[in-house]
Amino acid sequence: EDKVVQSPLSLVVHEGDTVTLNCSYEVTNFRSLLWYKQEKKAPTFLFMLTSSGIEKKSGRLSSILDKKELSSILNITATQTGDSAIYLCAVETSGSRLTFGEGTQLTVNP
Amino acid sequence: DTEVTQTPKHLVMGMTNKKSLKCEQHMGHRAMYWYKQKAKKPPELMFVYSYEKLSINESVPSRFSPECPNSSLLNLHLHALQPEDSALYLCASRKSVYRRPRQGGKTEAFFGQGTRLTVV
């Protein structure tokens, strides 16, 4: 059975801090890894990673995949209160199946 | 247009009712998904449609019946639901699904805003 594990499950920081969220996976037929941010309703897409070692960056967010370690990290620098959300990691396997991890609940306090 | 539209936004139904959830996208995506999400839990895959054909059914009870009338529309027909089926139902679509098992999608999945379903 495909498994995606995120850590920590919950994180509380102050504005301006840098955070690192982790995602590890054990799946058959890995295709890609995706990061999403979920606030009230729909998850919104952040990054899609398919190649090991190539960092994807968008503003204060960045992510990298390590296929040897079967893991990925999502970094957020200079956090803001608007970054408070659940961050979901999803792994795509064959048949375009997306399996989600439990998510990391990030709370950024002013 | 990167929008996936779901209707209704909220639905309250009795256990004997029959209702349908609708999902629409006009991005030319050929893969469409139904996910169920309970509070404080990640989305759980229910169904995947690939080129309008059901490709994955994650052992979902038959009281949930998906339908893909065309490449832009995805429905989820509900009948005789239980209170524990109350959840946020999310639809997603994706640009490409490859027919051969070794290949994967090359783009992200876009999610709709969901239908908040309450079964009473």
Q: Pick the residue of A3, A32, A36, A41 with the most B CBs within 10 A to test the interface with B by mutation.
A: A41
* Integer Cα distance of B86 and B13 in angstroms: 10
Could you report the average pLDDT of every consecutive run of 10 residues in chain B (120 residues)? 88 94 94 93 92 91 96 96 96 72 61 95
Give the pLDDT score at B97.
53
Give the pLDDT score at B106.
55
* Integer Cα distance of B39 and A87 in angstroms: 15
pLDDT tens digits along B46-80: 999 989 999 989 989 999 999 999 999 999 999 99
Q: What is the largest CA-CA distance in chain A?
A: 43
**Of A12 and B31, which is predicted with more confidence?**
A12
A-chain residues within 8 Å CB-CB of B110?
45
The amino acid occupying position A72 is: S
pLDDT tens digits along A21-31: 999 999 998 98
Task: Identify which of A32, A44, A96 has the shortest CB distance to residue B48.
Answer: A96
* Integer Cα distance of A60 and A103 in angstroms: 20
A-chain residues within 8 Å CB-CB of B114?
41-42
* Upper half-sphere CA count for residue A93 (Cβ side, 13 Å): 14
